[in-house]
Amino acid sequence: MDENEYRVTYQQVNTRRCIFEKALNSRVCACEQSQRFNIADREGVACRSPSGQVLCNELIQLLRHNVRFALHMNRITGPLPHAREIKVQNGGLLGLQKLLLGLKKPQDGVENINGLVRRARDRFGRLADVPFNEIVQSVVSYNGRRRRSGKR
């Protein structure tokens, strides 16, 4: 299957793409509203909740906006390169969880993205009122998995 054919099939199969698909596929985060599927040898993630997808989309836009300075970018108009997007998604969700639970350091993972985002909205009234300056620290300090060396 060539890349263009894959993208067309993906869009036909996955009409409600999970906003935090990279975080879920990295196995750092999980979500009760996610639904995994396979196309050829690739795994995708759909969102079963229309309202949850709207909330997650709002959160990812706010995360990208608030971390742009820390990532040395003037503006972010869409998805970031893969490694930076992983940093924003995983670091942002772990930082939000740390903030909501009052922890000293982030945990290893997030069990339920949907529940976490709804909890943040309920606590702060709206996602725009979340103190992102505290979350940015988690994004900056988040290290994804290290590259494997070619040596065996």
Are the CB atoms for 130 and 96 separated by under 8 Å? yes
Tell me, what DSSP letter sits at residue 6?
H
pLDDT score for 140: 93
pLDDT score for 147: 57
Q: What is the mean pLDDT of each run of 10 residues along the chain (152 residues)?
A: 75 87 95 90 91 97 91 78 92 97 91 98 97 94 71 52
pLDDT score for 148: 58
pTM: 0.87
pLDDT score for 44: 87
Beta bridge partners of 34: 47
Residues 6+ apart with CB under 8 A from 67: 88, 92, 132, 136, 139, 140
- 65: closest CA among 82, 47, 77, 81? 77
pLDDT score for 80: 82
